[in-house]
Structure 1
Amino acid sequence: MKWFQLPLGSFQANCYILVNRQKECLIFDPGDESQKLIQFITEKELTPKAVLLTHAHLDHIGALDDIRKEYKIQAYIHEKEADWLIDPSLNGSKLFTPNSPLKLNPAENIMKGEQTLSVKGFDFELIETPGHSPGSVSYYFKELGAVFSGDALFSRSIGRTDLPGGNHKQLIQSIKTKLLTLPNNTIVLSGHGPSTTIREESRENPFLV
């Protein structure tokens, strides 16, 4: 498997595309610029199979409906944020983009609890990492040696906790007990900014040392 990173929209939230040998792919957090994302997928000749959301803030979901419609695929979200897709006051669009509030279609698949999942032939561990938002999750792909951490953990930083449902203490606990316990060489694919590793963040992240 291999992955691609596409920063999208004014928030430059990272959308990731994870590709297997058959050129099938999972799409993580399609936040904006659906045509840019579709063009990339077309150029790479990929076949999208599903959309996985790390959480439901506006900068991670803005292109979700376009992508589902284009490829006839389904979305996955944690149960604690299932309502956020349809509620602008929860997903943040009422606050940040009041002239274009996001009221999306509900997710087809609601995830609950930590578990090993298989989605369209892709196997991974679902890890609950709340704090940035109540339903924030991370997706750990052991075979790839990478974790898609959303806005929980960044390179030398952590997610903000001043939005509705945010909890700083909970976020620190999530990172230390759920993410930093992964193998040191695990690549951290964050919701914003460059990738990093568990080893680097364990040693050098000023919020965690």
Structure 2
Amino acid sequence: MLHIKSFTFNPYQENTYLIFDDEKNCVVVDPGMHNYQEEEYFASYIQKNELNVCSLINTHGHIDHVLGNKFICDTYHVLPNFHENELPLIIQVQNYAPQMGIRYEPSPIPDRFLTENDKITIGNNQLSLILAPGHSPGHLCLYSEEHKFLIGGDVLFYRSIGRTDLPGGNHQQLLNSIANKIYTLAGDTLVYPGHGQPTNIQDEKENNPFLRA
């Protein structure tokens, strides 16, 4: 059985996720903590629940989703994992974070990059990766067909979609990713987005004003 714990961090109100199994194996997704208080709150949850952090995944490289990369790497001795096309975005964060008054320690770089063919292992469970560019060039979503959930990053939100006016964004590409990759999943798949409340595929197909099936 897999469990999902969400945290909302930083001025962008970004959702950071922990995915863990009954044996306490744990994956961190999009660590967004931006100050010591948020770091302590996150670490205390892991300690209290005796979780073993096995890996760190970034769905994409925008500032709000990588602010905690260095903290996670230093504390739990794991390198971040993300798609190669996100590397320029992550490198750029260290240049503009100070201009925005945001504390940021540059993210370490992985030994290898993720592709859509890779699997994320959590104990005896595996998550598939879905490459869904448009919000960013190498945006990845984490999907469990067995447990019927999608960690969607900034692709699909409740009644909305990711913005495409940032560097590397492409509006039509994002619409194509949603139509051809995300909307093909089972309707009862629960979507955990990078911001805001969870939703599900069927509800968005019927009611999302930006893209109806």
**TM-score w.r.t. length of structure 1:** 0.91
1:104 corresponds to = 107
C-alpha spacing 1:74/1:198, structure 2 compared with 1 (3 Å): same
Amino acid of the residue matched to residue 18 of structure 1? Answer: I
1:93 corresponds to = 97
2:40 corresponds to = 35
Contact 1:85–1:102 (CA under 8 A) maintained in structure 2: no
Structure 2 counterpart SS, 1:50: strand
Contact 1:129–1:175 (CA under 8 A) maintained in structure 2: yes
CA distance in 1, matches of 2:112, 2:46: 23
Q: Unaligned 5+ residue runs, structure 1?
A: none
Q: Unaligned 5+ residue runs, structure 2?
A: none
CA distance in 1, matches of 2:56, 2:94: 23
Contact 2:73–2:108 (CA under 8 A) maintained in structure 1: no
Give 1:79's match in structure 2, choosing from 64, 76, 84.
84
1:19 corresponds to = 20
**Equivalent runs, 1:139-150 vs 2, <5 Å:** 139-150=142-153
Deviates more, 1:16-25 or 1:118-127: 118-127
1:9 corresponds to = 10
Contact 2:6–2:16 (CA under 8 A) maintained in structure 1: yes
2:204 corresponds to = 201
1:119 corresponds to = 121
CA distance in 2, matches of 1:37, 1:108: 25
Structure 2 counterpart SS, 1:110: coil
CA distance in 2, matches of 1:65, 1:168: 31
> How far is 1:83 from its partner?
3.5
C-alpha spacing 1:70/1:157, structure 2 compared with 1 (3 Å): same
> How far is 1:134 from its partner?
0.6
CA distance in 2, matches of 1:15, 1:134: 21
Contact 2:7–2:15 (CA under 8 A) maintained in structure 1: yes
**Equivalent runs, 1:131-142 vs 2, <5 Å:** 131-142=134-145
Deviates more, 1:171-180 or 1:35-44: 35-44
Structure 1 counterpart SS, 2:113: strand
Would you say how many aligned residue pairs link Structure 1 and Structure 2?
206
Q: CA RMSD in A?
A: 1.8
> How far is 1:94 from its partner?
6.0
> How far is 1:98 from its partner?
5.1
Amino acid of the residue matched to residue 97 of structure 2? Answer: S
Contact 1:86–1:105 (CA under 8 A) maintained in structure 2: no
**Equivalent runs, 1:158-173 vs 2, <5 Å:** 158-173=161-176
CA distance in 1, matches of 2:193, 2:128: 16
Amino acid of the residue matched to residue 12 of structure 1? Answer: Q
**TM-score w.r.t. length of structure 2:** 0.90
Amino acid of the residue matched to residue 170 of structure 1? Answer: Q
Contact 2:94–2:105 (CA under 8 A) maintained in structure 1: no
**Equivalent runs, 1:39-78 vs 2, <5 Å:** 39-78=44-83
Amino acid of the residue matched to residue 137 of structure 2? Answer: P
Q: What whole-Å deviation, never above 9, does each CA across 1:48-88 have from its counterpart, x for those lacking one?
A: 11011100111001011111111112221001012333332
CA distance in 2, matches of 1:18, 1:201: 23
CA distance in 2, matches of 1:89, 1:71: 22
Q: How many percent identity over aligned positions?
A: 34
CA distance in 1, matches of 2:201, 2:14: 20
